[in-house]
Amino acid sequence: MNKNIFIIPGILMLLLLLSFKEWKREKAQEADQIFINGHIITVDSANTIAEALAVKEGKILAVGRTANIQQLKGQHTVVVDLKGKTLLPGFIDGHSHFMSLGRSKTADISPPPVGKVRNITDIIAVLKAFQKEKKIKPGEWINARGYDPDQLAENRHPTKEDLDAAFPDNPVLLTHTSGHMSVVNSYALKISGVDSHTKDPAGGQIVREKATGEPTGLLLERARSVLKNTGEREKPTIDEQLRLLDEQQELYASEGVTTAQDGSTGLASIELLQEAAKRKRLYIDIEALAAYATLERLVVNPQYVFNKFDNHFKIKGTKIFTDGSPQGKTAFFTQPYQVEVPGCHEHCTGIPTITQEKLDEALLFCFKHKIQPYTHCNGDAAIDMYIKAIKNANRQYPESSHKLRPVVIHSQFVRPDQLNDYKELGLIPSFFTNHAFFWGDVHVRNLGKERAWFLSPLNSALNKKIVFTNHTDFGVTPINQLFLLWTSVARESRSGQVIGPDQRLTVLEGIRAITLNGAYQYGEEKEKGSIEVGKKADLIILSDNPLKVPTAKIKDLVVLTTIKEGKTVYQRKAKS
C-alpha cells in the first residue's frame, strides 16, 4: 500500500492547522479602532508623545507611530483620523459630589463667573423669580445655593432681616458656596424652634447678635442640624432619579471625566447607584465614598461590597470630616484668622467638626475593615488631627496606611512639616487649586500672604515625591477639568495675582495629577490613567493641545469627544 496516501492528508491537516493558528494570531492583532495622525499625550513614565493608538475590546492594544498602528487595521477596524488633534487619557476626578442631583429644585445664587449674583438685592430677585417659576406655595421652603459674601457688594453674609420682608410666609435657606454654612430667615428659625435659648450643637455654631443673643440667621457647620424639614416636598420616582443620573453623567462626560467620585454618599444614593448599575444605566465609572455615619451598617451587610466594580459602580471608601471652609472662616487652624470672624471675638482659629477621640475611633474602624479613608481637612490644625489619628491606627495595624493610601481631601493649608508626615505615612493629598482663582485674594486677606501662597502646594509635594491629585469639589466649583488644569499651572486669582508662584506645575505635571495620579488614588493605576498597552481605552480628544497653547488659553480648551473603554460616551456638537 502506498504510504503517501496517509502522509498527504496529514500534511494537509497540519497546513490547515497552521493556517488557522496564523488566522487567529492575525485576528487577535486586528484592532477594533485605530486613532492616527494625532498628538497623543500618554502620561506614561517617560511622558511619551505618540502619533497613534489601537483599541481592541475596550483596551489599549498598541501605541506608537501612525505607520505602525495602521498595520493593525483589519476589515472591520474603525479608523479615526485625528488630523493633528490632541488625545489624552480620560480625566479621573480626585474629589467631587457626583450625586448632587436635582439642581432644578435649588435656586442658583452664585457670583460670576458661575452665576450672576453681585449683591443681596440680586439674591432676593433670583429667589422671587424661582418662587414664581416653581409655584412655591406659602409655608413651603425656598432653597438656594452658591452665595459668596466675599463677592457680594455688601461684603457680608445675608441676614434673616434681608430675607424676612421679601418672604414673610416661606422658610428660606441659602447655602454658602462651600456648603459649610447656611443663612435662614425668621420663618425658618421659628418653625425649627430655634431662638436665643437654643444650644449650639457639637461641631457647629449658631451665630448670634452680641446684644440680645438672638440668632442672626447664620448657621455654621453642624449648626444646620437644628433646622427641621428643609423642603424635600416630593421624593422623585426611580425613573426620575435615573434620568437625573443620566444628566449628571452627561455633564461629567462633557468635561472629559471618565471616572467620577461621589463624596460622602448616603445610603439612599448608594442604593440608587446600585439600581442604576443593575439596569446598566451607568457608562462612566462612579467611585462612592460612603458617609461615615453609614459605615457600620454597610460592613455587616453582604449587599454592600467595597472595592469591586459592578457595571461601573464601586463603593471605594468612606468620607470623614474634620473641619470647615477656609473662605467661610470655619477651617481649623493652629494660628488665628487675621480678620473678623462671625460668631467669634478673639483667637479665632475655626471650628473642628469632630473630636480627636472620635477621629481616632473612625480611623481604627477603617483600618480594621481595610476601608480607604478620605478625610476632609482644610486647615493645618485639622491636618494635625488626621496625622495623629493615622499614626495611632498604624500602631495597632502596622503600616496599614501604606496599603490603604488614606486621602487628605483638600489639604488646602498643609504645612511643610506635615508634607513630611504625608510622605512617611503614605498619605495622598487631593489638592484643590481652583481656590487660587476663586478665593486666592480672600485667603491673602484672611490668612496673610505666607499662608495663602502655600495653599495647595503641589510643587512642594512633587519635590518630596508625594503622589497627589487635584479636584474641583463640584458643586463648589464647576466640574471643568481644563479650568482646573489651568489653575494648577497659572495659580492666578480673580484680580490676576499669582498665589504662590513657586507652587505652579508644568502642564504635563498638571495633567498627571488629574489622570494617572487619580488612578493611583483609587488603587487602579494598573487599569487606567495613562495610555499604555493593556489599560482601559478611556480617552478624550481636545480642541487644541494644552502643551502648545499659551497658559492663559488652557482654561478655554474644550473636550470634543469622550471615550469610555472604547465606546464614545460624549460627542460635542459642531456649531451650526
Q: Is residue 126 domain-shared with residue 82, that is, in the same domain?
A: no
Q: Is residue 60 domain-shared with residue 172, that is, in the same domain?
A: no
DSSP state string for 145-165: EEE-GGGSTT-S---HHHHHT
Of 226, 244, 278, the position where a domain reaches its end is: 226
Q: Is residue 110 domain-shared with residue 222, that is, in the same domain?
A: yes
The reported pLDDT for the residue numbered 23 is 43
Instruction: Please determine, for residue 576, whether its predicted confidence score (pLDDT) is greater than 70.
Output: no
Q: Is the dihedral of CA 339, 344, 346, 351 positive or negative?
A: negative
Has residue 443 been placed in a domain? no
Mean pLDDT, rounded, for 167-176: 93
Has residue 573 been placed in a domain? yes
Say what percent of the chain tops pLDDT 70. 94
Mode of pairing for the β-strands spanning 407-410 and 428-431:
parallel
Burial of 19 per CB tally in 10 Å (0-12, 13-18, 19+) = exposed
Report the range of poorest mean pLDDT among 3-12, 66-75, 379-388, 406-415.
Answer: 3-12
Q: Is residue 124 domain-shared with residue 177, that is, in the same domain?
A: yes
Q: Is residue 49 domain-shared with residue 139, that is, in the same domain?
A: no
Burial of 347 per CB tally in 10 Å (0-12, 13-18, 19+) = exposed
For residues 405 and 370, the answer to whether their CB atoms sit within 8 Å is no
Q: Is residue 75 domain-shared with residue 118, that is, in the same domain?
A: no
Instruction: Please determine, for residue 529, whether its predicted confidence score (pLDDT) is greater than 50.
Output: yes
The reported pLDDT for the residue numbered 7 is 60
CATH number of the domain within which 548 lies: 2.30.40.10
Q: Is residue 123 domain-shared with residue 192, that is, in the same domain?
A: yes
Instruction: Give pLDDT tens digits for 108-165.
Output: 999 999 999 999 999 999 999 999 999 999 999 999 999 999 999 999 999 999 999 9
The reported pLDDT for the residue numbered 36 is 98
Has residue 95 been placed in a domain? no
Instruction: Please determine, for residue 35, whether its predicted confidence score (pLDDT) is greater than 90.
Output: yes
Of 170, 200, 226, the position where a domain reaches its end is: 226
CATH number of the domain within which 148 lies: 3.10.310.70
Has residue 550 been placed in a domain? yes
Q: Is residue 75 domain-shared with residue 135, that is, in the same domain?
A: no
Instruction: Give pLDDT tens digits for 537-564.
Output: 999 999 999 999 999 999 999 999 999 9
Dist. CA 28–CA 265, nearest whole Å: 41
Of 179, 207, 226, the position where a domain reaches its end is: 226
Instruction: Please determine, for residue 380, whether its predicted confidence score (pLDDT) is greater than 80.
Output: yes
Q: Is residue 47 domain-shared with residue 125, that is, in the same domain?
A: no
In sequence order, what are the residues at sequence separation of 6 or more whose Cβ sits closer than 8 angstroms to the Cβ of residue 273?
Answer: 99, 245, 262, 265, 282, 286, 288, 313
Dist. CA 491–CA 486, nearest whole Å: 8
Instruction: Give pLDDT tens digits for 222-233.
Output: 888 889 876 655
**Residue keyed to cell 480594621:** 368
Q: Is residue 222 domain-shared with residue 108, that is, in the same domain?
A: yes
Dist. CA 295–CA 291, nearest whole Å: 7
What's the mean per-residue pLDDT of the chain? 93
Q: Is residue 107 domain-shared with residue 77, that is, in the same domain?
A: no
Range of the domain at 54: 31-87+541-576
Report the range of poorest mean pLDDT among 47-51, 139-143, 468-472, 492-496.
Answer: 139-143
**Residue keyed to cell 498597552:** 533
Has residue 24 been placed in a domain? no
Rg (CA), the chain: 27
Q: Is residue 116 domain-shared with residue 71, that is, in the same domain?
A: no
* 374: DSSP letter: E
Has residue 245 been placed in a domain? no
Instruction: Please determine, for residue 519, whether its predicted confidence score (pLDDT) is greater than 80.
Output: yes
Instruction: Please determine, for residue 356, whether its predicted confidence score (pLDDT) is greater than 80.
Output: yes
Report the range of poorest mean pLDDT among 136-145, 367-376, 385-394.
Answer: 136-145
Has residue 69 been placed in a domain? yes
Has residue 222 been placed in a domain? yes
Closest CA to 99 of 237, 296, 325, 271: 271
Instruction: Look at the chain and report how many structural domains it folds into.
Output: 2
